[in-house]
Amino acid sequence: MSELKLTRGSKLTLNADRLEAGLMKEGAQVTRRAKGFSDYSDFVNLVGAGYMELKLIGPKGGQRFVTTEKGKQALSSAKESVKQTEYA
C-alpha cells in the first residue's frame, strides 16, 4: 500500500495522532461514534501501510493497535518537517 500523509501544510493529520496514541503502553483503541461511524478504516489503512499492528493486550485478549518501528520513524520525520515549516 502507498505511504500515508501524516502532515497537511504545517500541521499533523489525525493519522499522526493515532500513531502517537499507539505509542502508549496500552496502545490505541478504535473510537465508535453515533450512527455507526468509527475510525476503524483509518486504523486499517495504517496497518496496511505497515505503521501499526494489531496486538492482544490484557487478560481478556482485548485488541489494540500498536505503532511499529516504521510508524515511529514516519511520525518522527513528520514532526521534524512540521518543525521546519514553523521556523521557515
Q: Is the pLDDT assigned to residue 86 strictly greater than 80?
A: no
Domain locations in the chain as residue ranges:
8-87
Q: How much is the pLDDT for 2?
A: 63
Of the candidates 14, 6, 15, 24, the one whose C-alpha atom is nearest the C-alpha of residue 79 is 6
What is the grid cell recorded at 86?
Answer: 514553523
Q: How much is the pLDDT for 88?
A: 60
**pLDDT tens-place string over residues 10-58:** 899 999 999 999 999 889 988 888 888 888 999 999 999 999 999 988 7
Q: How much is the pLDDT for 73?
A: 95
Query: pTM for the complete prediction?
Result: 0.85
Of 60 and 22, the one with more pLDDT: 22
